[in-house]
Amino acid sequence: MAYQSVNPNDGKVLKSFEHMSNAQLEKSLAAAESCFQTWKHKSYAERAIVLNRAAALLRAHVDDFAKLATLEMGKRMAEARGEVAFSADILAYYAEHAEAFLAPVKLHPKNGEAHVESSPTGVLFCVEPWNFPYYQLARVAGPQLMAGNVLVVKHAACVPQCAIAFEGLLRDAGAPVGAYTNLLISYEQSDRVIDDPRIRGVALTGSLAAGRSLAARAGRNLKKSTMELGGSDAFIVLDDADLDLTIPWAVWGRMFNGGQTCCAAKRFIVLDSIADQFLAKFKTALEALKPGDPMDETTTHGPLSSEAALVQLLAQVDAAVKGGASLLMGGKRIARPGSFMQTTILADIRPGNPAFRDEFFGPVVSFYRVKGEEEAIALANDSDFGLGGSVWTRDEARGKRVASRVDTGMMFVNNIDWADAELPFGGIKSSGYGRELGHMGIQEFVNKKLVRTGHIAAPV
């Protein structure tokens, strides 16, 4: 079967789905194009009715949606509920603000008058990952539907029930057929979609390899794309950090969503004078996490999303140790049913070790000691990725200075709270390009048309 739900807590297959036929795909693309011809003429108020209804349905059925995410990719129930609520917030946020974000902008030429107006571009193809099976969809659906675009979406093959549920949500909210379409398609069919002239833009959240492939294909077709790829975010602990504040964020930053977050804290860069104290407290906090069924509210350490993800992560840790890294804790799978991995800390990671460049998508900490602030900044910037990062210090002005010098799309001082619909999300370097969320997220796939008026004499 092409799309398959497997519960990572016990390895049992829940449900399987076949790929769409090419004929079914064509029908979906035709419906999307047809829908766009009417949806683009709807008022912001009319579109907002649909998005606000969808947000209300998510809030009314939060446990139903959350349970699906927990079953399909192992997200702990409390985190799954939070994701559903945040997804509702995103939809409601754009329902409220889209018209203002896309209002005409008056310009001031020397002669006559001019403005820039925003208009939708058409059918967008979105390819989304499994780690946040609703949030990733909401952050493209909210802005783009409100902008007047329509979406066809290929979700990850391991969360088909979440994908189908989100499509059903928008239908139940009153979205017309073709406004948002879930596509159960193969990689080869994805290429066909990108090549199709009815598709006007491509948005991907996923791996670096997927980003290179889809961006290249979109580029060959001269189609605008946005890419939100991986990350290896630095968690910089300065010598004056408040560890009572910092340690809980360190645990959350590495272990939220089982460590399977693009903008998770992954490289812990700690000034030497505070490193021993930080490490001791961090290890104690990580050791207190309780593995278990993610449906159980007392569980604080859930499974990885799949057996394949676990096998890959174990291989990365083994390669790191063979390359000279020290294993300070963990490094093995947990002896229980399901795809569980021990919380792991690697240290003494040198340039040349694959762990120095790789992204660890799971509960693996890369720990680095540095002599001072300058070395911390240099090490933070010595990465192929540039998604997010954080700085921890009692001196907020110092934290801001350090944050300004780290080459990423997002930096946080004394928090890692990116969960706000108003905050733009995205990175640089191998973490991709473009932004989602905030006022920037709705601008990515709209035509910015200049209109100049005035009786201006032709040049002589």
In a structure prediction context, what are the per-residue pLDDT tens digits for the chain, which is 460 residues long? 589 999 999 999 999 999 999 999 999 999 999 999 999 999 999 999 999 999 999 999 999 999 999 999 999 999 999 999 999 999 999 999 999 999 999 999 999 999 999 999 999 999 999 999 999 999 999 999 999 999 999 999 999 999 999 999 999 999 999 999 999 999 999 999 999 999 999 999 999 999 999 999 999 999 999 999 999 999 999 999 999 999 999 999 999 999 999 999 999 999 999 999 999 999 999 999 999 999 999 999 999 999 999 999 999 999 999 999 999 999 999 999 999 999 999 999 999 999 999 999 999 999 999 999 999 999 999 999 999 999 999 999 999 999 999 999 999 999 999 889 999 999 999 999 999 999 999 999 999 999 999 999 999 9
Residue 8 burial by CB count (10 A; 0-12/13-18/19+): exposed, middle or buried? buried
User: d(Cα 253, Cα 275) in Å, to the nearest integer?
Assistant: 18
- Please give the single-letter amino acid code of residue 101: F
Closest CA to 228 of 379, 380, 438, 388: 388
Torsional class of 50: left (φ above 0), alpha (ψ -120 to 50), beta (otherwise)? alpha
User: d(Cα 248, Cα 2) in Å, to the nearest integer?
Assistant: 40
Spell out the domain ranges in the chain.
3-229+431-451, 233-413
pTM of the model: 0.97
**DSSP assignment letter at 175:** P
Q: Are 180 and 153 in contact (CB under 8 A)?
A: yes
Q: Are 427 and 410 in contact (CB under 8 A)?
A: yes
Please report where in the chains the tokens 């939060």 appear, as a residue: 62
Active site residue 18: no
Coil, strand or helix: which one is 366? Answer: strand
For 406-420, give one letter per residue: b (16+ CB within 10 A) or e.
bbbbbbbbbebeebe
- HSE toward the beta carbon, residue 458, CA cutoff 13 A: 1
Domain 233-413 is found in CATH 3.40.309.10 = yes
- HSE toward the beta carbon, residue 175, CA cutoff 13 A: 30
The reported pLDDT for the residue numbered 1 is 54
Order of strands across the sheet that contains 326-329:
326-329, 344-347, 364-370, 265-271, 233-237, 389-392, 412-413
Q: Which residue out of 262, 359, 373, 444 is catalytically annotated?
A: 262
Q: How many residues comprise the chain? A: 460
- Helix, strand, coil share of the chain (percent; to 5): 45, 20, 35
Active site residue 162: no
Integer angstrom CA distances of residue 43 from 148, 149, 172, 324: 9, 12, 20, 60
Phi, psi of 339 (to 5 degrees): -100, 70
User: d(Cα 34, Cα 153) in Å, to the nearest integer?
Assistant: 16
What topology does CATH give the domain 3-229+431-451? Aldehyde Dehydrogenase; Chain A, domain 1 (3.40.605)
Q: Which residue out of 33, 83, 128, 228 is catalytically annotated?
A: 228
Q: Are 426 and 96 in contact (CB under 8 A)?
A: no
User: d(Cα 105, Cα 127) in Å, to the nearest integer?
Assistant: 31
E-strand ranges in 72-164 read 105-107, 113-120, 123-127, 150-154
The reported pLDDT for the residue numbered 425 is 97
Which residues lie closer than 8 Å to 158 by C-beta, 6 or more apart? Answer: 3, 4, 5, 6, 72, 73, 130, 305, 306
User: d(Cα 32, Cα 24) in Å, to the nearest integer?
Assistant: 12
User: d(Cα 306, Cα 287) in Å, to the nearest integer?
Assistant: 23
